[in-house]
A = this chain, B = another copy of it.
């Protein structure tokens, strides 16, 4: 394709100020699950993250791995079970979670980033007591009564220790973090990756949290791309939930966005990992490509 010079000049003069603006800023990229299945998309994401690092931003990757854990469990003859979207995690399941997240997905992302020239460091939240966690107490409503259910080794974040991340970023490494937490007794916990991403983004004072998903963002009508919201505030989101525009699987996603904003992140961006180079387009163009969520 032959692109006209004035067009190139226009795009460059548009992008360069953003590169400058976000120079040395920390950006957390949440990646995983269904957005990860496509091999080509994995390459785009990896390449974009490395380019961010190259031009002076500080990307941190947090990944999940639901579908792969499901597959591994089934292969071992265990049936995945969820309560309120949280995986019931017995000791054996926790071992599978650790092996799939840290032993497989994390390593694959590290390899991919390395292939494009990035110096990636794979870490579980146990390393350097990065993610301090405690057992999550979960309640369900049954017969109009609030009952505590035992999810097993499911935890919630108590504290993010940023020292190690900051050290690695300073030396221009790209940390790739599995959502495994640890308590003071050395016990591990299975954590929700979206929430961990927001907690980490808040703790390290990230400018942005980029949620890579398999949809274009939040839309008035999911079937009509032209109804995409470019920018929403927390209260607008709450209104959309009340109206039923945001529903189903998107609700925990936007709750994770709100968590990140409450932890101090300036903006959260829901983008579609299947669009080539969606990270670059979201960060370095004026219009962006997905939905940006900010505080009111």
Query: B112–A102 contact, CB under 8 A?
Result: no
- Checking B10, B16, B107 against A54 with a beta-carbon cut-off of 8 angstroms, the contacting residue is B16
Tell yes or no: A123 within 8 A of B by CB: yes
Which positions 149-193 of chain A face chain B at CB distance < 8 Å? 163-164, 167, 171, 173, 180, 182, 185-188
Give the distance to chain B from A191, nearest Cβ to Cβ, in Å: 14
Query: A20–B122 contact, CB under 8 A?
Result: no
Task: Give A138 to B115 CA distance when docked, in angstroms.
Answer: 26
Give the distance to chain B from A19, nearest Cβ to Cβ, in Å: 5
Count A interface residues, CB 8 Å. Answer: 68
Q: Which of A17, A124, A289 has the most CB of B within 10 A?
A: A124
Tell yes or no: A252 within 8 A of B by CB: no
Task: Give A124 to B17 CA distance when docked, in angstroms.
Answer: 28
A101-B103, A103-B101, A186-B111 as given contacts; A128 in contact with B124, CB under 8 Å? no
Query: B103–A126 contact, CB under 8 A?
Result: no
Query: A122–B126 contact, CB under 8 A?
Result: yes
Query: A12–B284 contact, CB under 8 A?
Result: yes
Which positions 69-124 of chain A face chain B at CB distance < 8 Å? 75-76, 95, 98-104, 106-107, 110-112, 114-115, 119-124
Closest to A21 in B: B54
Tell yes or no: A9 within 8 A of B by CB: yes
Query: A171–B167 contact, CB under 8 A?
Result: yes
Across the interface, which residues of B come within 8 angstroms of A13, CB to CB? 47, 51, 277, 280
A residues engaging B (CB < 8 A)?
1, 3, 5-13, 15-17, 19-20, 23, 47, 51, 54-56, 75-76, 95, 98-104, 106-107, 110-112, 114-115, 119-124, 126-129, 163-164, 167, 171, 173, 180, 182, 185-188, 275-277, 280-281, 284-285, 289
